[in-house]
Chains A and B, each alone.
Chain A
Amino acid sequence: MEEKENLITVNIDGQDLQVPPGMNMVEAAAILGKEIPHYCYHPKLTIAGNCRMCLVELGMPGRDRATGEPMVNKDGTPKIMWMPGPAIGCGTKAAPGLHIKTDSPKALESREAVTEFLLINHPLDCPICDQAGECTLQEFSSSHGRGYSRFIEQKNVKPKRTRLGPRVTLDDERCVLCSRCIRFCDEVAGDSVLGFTDRGSYSTLTCFPGKELANNYSLNTVDICPVGALTSTDFRFKMRVWFLKETNSIDFETSVGVNTVVSAREGTIYRVKPRRNDQVNDTWMPDSGRELYKQVESDDRLIQCTIDSLATSAVDAIAKASECLQGGGVAIVGSGQCSVEEQFALKAISDGIGAKGVYLVARYGKDDGILMSVDRNPNVRGALMAGLVNDLPDEQLGELGAKIDSGEVTTVFSVKEDLIAGGLTEDQVGKVKIIYLGTHENTTSSLADVLIAGLTQFEKSGTVINQQFRLQKFSRVVPGPGGAIEDLYALATIQANLSGESFPSTVGSLWKQIGTEGSVFEGISFQSLSDQGELLDGSAFEHFSFREGKSLHFEPKKEALAIE
């Protein structure tokens, strides 16, 4: 928000409102809780003003032409000169003394006319349209529509199943030509592939010749499409949106920590969509993060705890793991995929048994400068702040390999990390006793002496710390499979077995311990943590050379850049 002195007064439906200069009227009316219907306007895109749905009446205080003096009514109030025609709300910027009417008969009549025009060629196939239930055209047709059609001519027919790219399917008949998708590709994704061809009611959204909508942000066009024209090929015809229960989550793909909302019905996840957070991801998310839900029901999912490859209960597996960890010569391989709470519990275990080493496996990928950062672990900073590790992790577990070879380490407790993929040889892994807590099959899980089947991010709650040192929480979307056990519960029980004292085993109760005085987490509790997250003081880690480059709302520290 701007400084208080810079605010100017506008008048919306007779109510005075203080807004920063230049704010558009759709946003200003929203402050007063008034909705100006719109299709083409999107808060994070430039203003196109082509849907004409947000028509309002507009007036300014009049001035006498001859003298230039402000005109006044008989009672001394400024005389408002109303424009003869309506103007679009999204293209009208706040100016001192600006008056608008959002619900006057003229404004409503204008919007009804626009709605009637939009519906002329609309196929009205709501029963088969995936957008039904979250469609603004549907909503505004019921609030501003006529209820019957005066159009007796034949409707335009356009292609219904156009493949725009590997993940996006276009139904041209439903398009209202708002151009949000075109602007998104130009302005945010930086990949101009969409445009309109033909004129008038024959206008059609198409890809440029020889191009396709294949960038890693293509599904955002589906999210911002106000109607059902752009549909996700993955979600197409899978489930009606009114059945879906939505839960706030975080994209675990990279250290950006994109805020998401996950839609599920009866224990099955159907889609992942971005959630607005103006400090992290605006309203966007990468396509790759939307696929992550498929891990929940993948074929290689671990759904049974085992000891020496024999199925057992989680309770027995945890007891056996605790026994193995008491033997000494233990090294711990933690993970940047774990939540802060799990890393905290793991830290307690490693302190308790005097671990010979605590390692993390770094994952680095290509930076796209938008919402995919170099660091592909969502919570390396969490491990640093929980005190699990003291330095940035390496991509290889070379040091651990050397310790195994020298015989210093005889037991490895790995949480979510495949040791072979982490750079150990099968020979080295064969030499030591392996305790593995994970969700999916890999070489380590097949070699593990004790295997504890854990939960994916969608089946548990917790927090992660992103590249800005923003603590963000994610919540349980669906219950986990029967044979698996919550990671935090497993770690807390192991710690309780080892120490002989109780250890909080739920996220809420553990936060009472994490958020104690003196720590960087002071005053924070899981319950009170807002959905927008909370920025933590990361100054203690400023000297580390984090590899993340610039992204949407993130500027890397200058020192870190200098080191690179």
Chain B
Amino acid sequence: MPIVIKRRPLNFLEKLYLPEIARGLSTTFKKIWEKPVTLEYPEQRPTIPEGYRGVPTLVKDPEGREKCVSCQLCEFVCPPKAIRIKPGEIPENSEYAHVEKGPQEFEIDMLRCIYCGMCQEVCPEEAIWLQNQFSLSGYSREELVNNKEDLYELGGTLPDEHFKWRKKKEAAEHGSGH
């Protein structure tokens, strides 16, 4: 059964046609003097609201430590399988040896990414964030696969409120009364 939408019949003034044209033009002329609602993209850029899901990035904590421990949960949860991680061990002579594990390689294929934000949601270390960048382009497919360096460059530093690994190291250094 087709749905029939009943339309109100035109009243007398509307049928005259000219008053309606005048009403339309008055709206047009009013808007000319108002602040435009559109942006002259790309010269002008919109302000990105909080919680926006842009390009996924990797971040470092204020100490400069890479937060990712390559647990591969984002790789597992990623619906379009855009994330590839090669886990590795942090060498014992490193400053962050107590973290033990970090990514050797980390790739996000932006041709596959659907910006769903599940990687950010699942990350137990708050290391992967969908940040403000929304526009990206490239000349080849390879260019649009972000490797570890690209991801850290895009991500930058984010505040860490927990410092869980630093606390762990301090506990190890000061011992536990034994």
CB of A238 within 8 A of CB of B178, answer no
A127-B124, A128-B100, A157-B176 in contact; A240/B171 too (CB < 8 A)?
Answer: no
* 73-118 of chain B: CB within 8 A of chain A: 73, 75-76, 87-89, 92, 98-101
CB of B176 within 8 A of CB of A154, answer yes
Q: Which residues of A contact B59 (CB under 8 A)?
A: none
A146 at the interface (CB under 8 A from B): no
0/1 interface trace, chain A 509-553, chain B, CB 8 Å (1 if under): 000000000000000000000000000000000000000000000
Q: Which residues of B contact A198 (CB under 8 A)?
A: 178
- Distance in angstroms from A161 CB to nearest chain B CB is 7
For A239, the closest partner residue in chain B by CB is B87
Q: Which residues of B contact A148 (CB under 8 A)?
A: none
Our pick among B69, B76, B171 for the contact of A157 (Cβ within 8 Å) is B171
Q: Which residues of B contact A126 (CB under 8 A)?
A: 71, 124
Q: Which residues of B contact A243 (CB under 8 A)?
A: 72, 75-76
Number of chain A residues close to chain B: CB under 8 A: 20
For A240, the closest partner residue in chain B by CB is B72
A240 to B76, CA, bound (A): 9
B175 at the interface (CB under 8 A from A): yes
CB of A155 within 8 A of CB of B101, answer no
CB of A156 within 8 A of CB of B100, answer no
CB of A160 within 8 A of CB of B100, answer yes
Q: Which residues of A contact B92 (CB under 8 A)?
A: 161
CB of A240 within 8 A of CB of B71, answer yes
Q: Which residues of B contact A161 (CB under 8 A)?
A: 92, 100
CB of B178 within 8 A of CB of A156, answer yes
Q: Which residues of B contact A128 (CB under 8 A)?
A: 69, 71, 99-101
Q: Which residues of A contact B76 (CB under 8 A)?
A: 240, 242-243
A237 at the interface (CB under 8 A from B): yes
A160 to B100, CA, bound (A): 9
A202 at the interface (CB under 8 A from B): yes
B13 at the interface (CB under 8 A from A): no
For A204, the closest partner residue in chain B by CB is B178
* 37-76 of chain B: CB within 8 A of chain A: 69-73, 75-76
A157 to B178, CA, bound (A): 9
A126-B124, A155-B176, A157-B176 provided; 5 other pairs, C-beta below 8 A? A127-B124, A128-B69, A160-B100, A161-B100, A242-B76
A243 to B83, CA, bound (A): 13
* Most chain B CB within a 10 A radius of its CB, from A127, A154, A238: A127
Q: Which residues of B contact A236 (CB under 8 A)?
A: 89
Our pick among A123, A127, A239 for the contact of B125 (Cβ within 8 Å) is A127
Q: Which residues of B contact A202 (CB under 8 A)?
A: 178
Closest 8 CB pairs of A and B: A127-B71, A128-B101, A157-B172, A240-B72, A127-B124, A237-B89, A156-B176, A128-B69
* 74-129 of chain A: CB within 8 A of chain B: 123, 126-128
Q: Which residues of A contact B125 (CB under 8 A)?
A: 127
A160 to B168, CA, bound (A): 12
- Distance in angstroms from B21 CB to nearest chain A CB is 66
- Distance in angstroms from A170 CB to nearest chain B CB is 13
**A interface vs B, CB < 8 Å?**
123, 126-128, 132, 154-157, 160-161, 198, 202, 236-240, 242-243
Our pick among A127, A160, A237, A242 for the contact of B98 (Cβ within 8 Å) is A160
A243-B72, A243-B76 in contact; A237/B171 too (CB < 8 A)?
Answer: no
Q: Which residues of B contact A160 (CB under 8 A)?
A: 98, 100
A56 to B75, CA, bound (A): 40
A452 to B82, CA, bound (A): 38
A242 to B72, CA, bound (A): 10
- Distance in angstroms from B71 CB to nearest chain A CB is 4
A198 to B70, CA, bound (A): 34
A242 to B175, CA, bound (A): 35
CB of B172 within 8 A of CB of A237, answer no
Q: Which residues of A contact B175 (CB under 8 A)?
A: 157
Our pick among A123, A156, A237, A242 for the contact of B87 (Cβ within 8 Å) is A237
Q: Which residues of B contact A154 (CB under 8 A)?
A: 171, 176
A161 to B94, CA, bound (A): 14
What are some 15 contacts across the A-B interface (CB < 8 A)? A123-B168, A126-B71, A128-B99, A128-B100, A154-B171, A154-B176, A157-B168, A157-B172, A160-B100, A237-B70, A237-B101, A239-B87, A240-B87, A242-B76, A243-B72
A15 to B13, CA, bound (A): 86
Q: Which residues of A contact B70 (CB under 8 A)?
A: 237
A564 to B168, CA, bound (A): 61
Q: Which residues of B contact A157 (CB under 8 A)?
A: 168, 171-172, 175-176
- Distance in angstroms from A306 CB to nearest chain B CB is 34
Q: Which residues of A contact B75 (CB under 8 A)?
A: 243
A160 to B98, CA, bound (A): 8
A531 to B150, CA, bound (A): 48
CB of B87 within 8 A of CB of A238, answer yes
- Distance in angstroms from A404 CB to nearest chain B CB is 50
- Distance in angstroms from A232 CB to nearest chain B CB is 13
Our pick among A123, A127, A155, A237 for the contact of B88 (Cβ within 8 Å) is A237
* 150-178 of chain B: CB within 8 A of chain A: 168, 171-172, 175-176, 178
A163 to B21, CA, bound (A): 87
* Most chain B CB within a 10 A radius of its CB, from A154, A157, A198, A238: A157
A154 to B178, CA, bound (A): 12
CB of A127 within 8 A of CB of B99, answer no
Q: Which residues of A contact B101 (CB under 8 A)?
A: 128, 237
A156-B176, A157-B175 in contact; A127/B69 too (CB < 8 A)?
Answer: yes
- Distance in angstroms from A563 CB to nearest chain B CB is 52
CB of A155 within 8 A of CB of B87, answer no
A277 to B168, CA, bound (A): 42
* Most chain A CB within a 10 A radius of its CB, from B69, B75, B100: B100
- Distance in angstroms from A28 CB to nearest chain B CB is 37
- Distance in angstroms from A294 CB to nearest chain B CB is 18
Q: Which residues of A contact B72 (CB under 8 A)?
A: 239-240, 243
A491 to B24, CA, bound (A): 86
CB of A127 within 8 A of CB of B73, answer yes
- Distance in angstroms from B123 CB to nearest chain A CB is 9
Q: Which residues of B contact A132 (CB under 8 A)?
A: 71
A239 to B99, CA, bound (A): 17
A99 to B168, CA, bound (A): 46
A239 to B85, CA, bound (A): 9
For A130, the closest partner residue in chain B by CB is B101
For B172, the closest partner residue in chain A by CB is A157
Q: Which residues of A contact B176 (CB under 8 A)?
A: 154-157
* 6-57 of chain B: CB within 8 A of chain A: none
Q: Which residues of B contact A240 (CB under 8 A)?
A: 71-72, 76, 87
A132 to B168, CA, bound (A): 20
- Distance in angstroms from A111 CB to nearest chain B CB is 26
